[in-house]
Amino acid sequence: MRRDVFQAIADPTRRAIIALIAFQALTPNAIAENFNTSRQAVSKHLRILTECELVKQEYQGREIYYSLELNKMKEIDKWLEQYRRIWENKFNQLDNVLSKMKKQPKK
């Protein structure tokens, strides 16, 4: 089953895993040490993140290291950018209204 990247990041545990491996590749055991769940549960989250191509696996000897797939994260950022511009526009409009209100003489 092909999963959607937004389904993957909707889960707080998967977002926490992404945050953990954002700066350093880690093994599943190293990742699991940061959670109060079973190693199998963490493996399931890693499998989903891998299927969505948010993380990549790299084999070093007998160990598997998981790291963040930056290109996929850029896709998410690109999608969010359209909303970021809308929010910034709304905040700028609010700033303008507040500035005008401050400049009006008090009665």
pLDDT, tens digit, 9 for 90 and up, residues 51-100: 999 999 999 999 999 999 988 888 888 888 888 888 888 888 898 888 88
Return d(Cα 16, Cα 89) in angstroms, integer. Answer: 30
> Which segments of the chain are extended strands (E)?
55-60, 63-68
pLDDT single digits (tens) 2-58: 678 888 899 999 999 999 999 999 999 999 999 998 999 999 999 999 999 999 999
* pTM for the whole structure: 0.74
